């Protein structure tokens, strides 16, 4: 690929389309991140209609390959349901997965879908500013979520940040440049990315030969949006109610099928971290990295219930990575998922 101007604004989108049209067939395609950090809206016409920026990018730039860089973990995000629009799960719904779904559906008729995943935060010495470093289980979920939406690849932003040691301000990423003199690991993020990258590569390689059919958020009694299961062995997906946390549900699922007619689900447990208020960590926005282990805890695992159709009620579900099989009982298969964990599950006879 060739990378154009980073995060073009509205005035550069038509130029992107023009540059793209000049590339000869067979040459590397043009890429540009679709900036949407504030989910801005732009006037479309004199009637007062507006476009949100991701739709604006698709409509004007018409990129062959779409590359949204949406970093949802920002100041004001809270980990309790009473936070309304700033509740973590609502933020993921309205500021991340919505755009993943739109981008994937666009790419089906145009090119490839390459999301850029947040692996950083900006600490100004006293608080998180602009972006908050995701806690570990949340970071895992962010890295795995693109598979629910049939991503053709993914990028991480950013690999290396820069920090001023005088007040510890700067971008905290897997690698950190200290005073522009030396580079150190930030184990909190580096270890998560290092652990998951080989898995992401393996899962992505496997899914290249599978067709993405759709994605849905699974709750205890419903899914949103509903998926069409009529051509699969699945009748229903649900989260088993366990009454073991501030809230339950939010297992993201992507549905796949291959040329043999086999069905697979990629599932991510979005119920990742909760915040523990304390004297040194009174609010997520003001909690420094050195307090993260005390401030952020992981929810207990949840169980995804795969209810099979009558003709497939004795099928088995196979974990692609570990080879572990889950047998059906009364036509239902139970698969545990740790906080932030993702699993590629194949349904086999």
Of the candidates 303, 183, 158, 174, which has an alpha carbon nearest to the alpha carbon of residue 237?
A: 303
3-class secondary structure, 146: helix
Residue 256: strand pairing partners: 212, 264
pLDDT at 55: 82
Helix (H) and strand (E) counts in the chain: 7, 25
What is the Cα Rg of the chain in Å?
Answer: 21
pLDDT given for residue 134 in this prediction = 98
Quick count: other Cβ atoms within 10 Å of Cβ 77? 22
Element (H, E) at 35: strand 34-35
Write out residues in the chain with pLDDT < 70, as ranges: 36-51
- Whether residue 225 is preceded by a cis peptide bond, meaning omega within 30 degrees of 0, is yes
Distances (CA, A) of 328 to 241, 307, 312, 325, 345: 18, 9, 9, 10, 14
∠ CA 190-192-194, nearest 5°, is 65
Q: Are 335 and 327 in contact (CB under 8 A)?
A: no
Rounded CA separation 6/16 (Å): 11
Q: Are the beta carbons of 70 and 94 closer than 8 angstroms?
A: no
Predicted confidence at residue 163, as pLDDT, reads 95
The confidence score (pLDDT) of residue 216 equals 98
CB 225 within 8 A of CB 213: no
**pLDDT given for residue 7 in this prediction:** 83
Give which of 313, 300, 214 is closest to 265, Cα–Cα.
214
d(CA 328, CA 113) in angstroms, rounded, equals 34
Residue 290 β-bridge partners? none
The number of angstroms, rounded, from the C-alpha of 284 to the middle of its chain's C-alpha atoms is 20
The C-alpha angle with vertex 193 and arms to 101 and 335, in degrees rounded to 5, equals 60
**What pLDDT is attached to residue 323?**
97
Tell me how far apart the alpha carbons of residues 335 and 325 are, in angstroms, rounded to a whole number. Answer: 9
Say which residue the tokens 């088995």 belong to. 316
pLDDT at position 317 is 98
- For residue 19, which phi and psi values (nearest 5 degrees)? -60, -40
Structure tokens, 13: 């989108």
The DSSP letter of residue 349 is -
User: Left (φ > 0), alpha (ψ -120 to 50) or beta: where does 250 sit?
Assistant: left
Contact (CB, 8 A) for 174 and 160: yes
- Which pLDDT score is estimated for 305? 98
pLDDT of res. 60: 86
């Amino acid at each position: 690929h060739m990378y154009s101007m980073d995060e073009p604004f509205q005035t550069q989108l038509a130029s992107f389309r023009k540059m793209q049209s000049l590339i000869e067939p067979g040459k590397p395609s043009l890429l540009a991140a679709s900036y949407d950090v504030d989910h801005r809206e732009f006037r479309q016409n004199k009637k007062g209609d507006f476009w949100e920026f991701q739709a604006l990018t698709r409509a004007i730039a018409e990129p062959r390959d779409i590359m949204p860089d949406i970093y949802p973990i920002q100041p004001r995000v809270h980990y309790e349901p009473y936070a309304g629009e700033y509740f973590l799960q609502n933020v993921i719904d309205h500021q991340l997965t919505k755009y993943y779904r739109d981008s994937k559906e666009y790419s089906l008729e145009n090119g490839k879908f390459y999301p850029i995943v947040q692996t950083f935060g900006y600490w100004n010495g006293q608080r998180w500013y602009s972006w908050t470093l995701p806690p570990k289980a949340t970071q895992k979920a962010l890295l795995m979520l693109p598979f629910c939406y049939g991503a053709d690849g993914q990028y991480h932003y950013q690999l290396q940040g820069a920090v001023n040691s005088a007040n510890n301000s700067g971008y905290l990423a897997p690698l950190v440049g200290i005073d522009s003199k030396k580079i150190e690991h930030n184990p909190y993020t580096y270890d998560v990315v290092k652990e998951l990258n080989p898995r992401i590569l393996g899962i992505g390689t496997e899914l290249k030969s599978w067709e993405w059919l759709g994605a849905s958020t699974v709750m205890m009694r419903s899914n949103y949006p509903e998926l069409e299961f009529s051509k699969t062995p699945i009748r229903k997906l649900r989260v088993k109610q366990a009454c073991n946390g501030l809230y339950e549900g939010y297992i993201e699922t992507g549905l796949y099928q291959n040329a043999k007619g086999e069905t697979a689900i990629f599932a991510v447990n979005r119920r990742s971290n909760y915040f523990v208020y304390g004297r040194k960590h009174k609010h997520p926005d003001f909690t420094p990295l050195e307090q993260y282990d005390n401030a952020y805890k992981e929810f207990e695992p949840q169980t995804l219930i795969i209810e099979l159709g009558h003709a497939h009620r004795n099928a088995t579900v196979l974990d692609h990575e570990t080879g572990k099989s889950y047998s059906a009982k009364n036509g239902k298969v139970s698969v545990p998922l740790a906080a932030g964990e993702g699993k590629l599950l194949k349904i086999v006879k």
